[in-house]
């Protein structure tokens, strides 16, 4: 729960799961995220040789699923919690 100018309100939360070996590092999910918490992990390569997408601040995820909707390879699963 958070407090705003109009009183208390609930903040949606989400949990992201990545099937990293399917990721081709296109960055569409990174661009789609309204909270800007996704990035390509430049320190690792997946089985295909690409830098996989990762969530750098999972506590900030609102579960909107914009990232999963934009992903052409169905790499991301979003759960509302």
Summarize pLDDT for 1-53 with one digit per residue, the tens. Answer: 566 666 777 778 999 999 999 999 999 999 999 999 999 999 999 999 999 99
Give the distance, in angstroms, between the CA of residue 26 and the centroid of all CA atoms in the same chain. 14
pTM of the model: 0.85
Q: How many helices (H) and strands (E) does the chain have?
A: 2, 6
The predicted structure's pLDDT at residue 8 = 74
**What are the extents of the domains in the chain?**
12-80
* Pair 67, 29: CB distance under 8 Å: yes
User: Would the pLDDT of 59 be above 90?
Assistant: yes
Alpha-carbon dihedral sign for residues 38, 24, 26, 71:
negative
Per residue in 60-74, pLDDT (tens digit) is: 999 999 999 999 999
**Spatial separation of the C-alpha atoms in residues 8 and 47, rounded to whole Å:** 45
**pLDDT value of position 62:** 96
Architecture of the CATH domain 12-80: 2-Layer Sandwich (3.30)
């Amino acid at each position: 729960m958070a407090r705003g100018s109009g009183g208390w309100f609930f903040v949606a939360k989400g949990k992201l799961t990545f099937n990293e070996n399917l990721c081709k590092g296109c960055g569409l999910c990174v661009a789609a995220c309204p909270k800007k918490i996704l990035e390509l992990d430049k320190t690792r390569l997946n089985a295909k040789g690409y830098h996989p997408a990762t969530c750098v601040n999972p506590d900030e995820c609102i579960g909107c699923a914009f990232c999963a909707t934009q992903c052409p390879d169905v790499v991301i699963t979003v759960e509302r919690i």
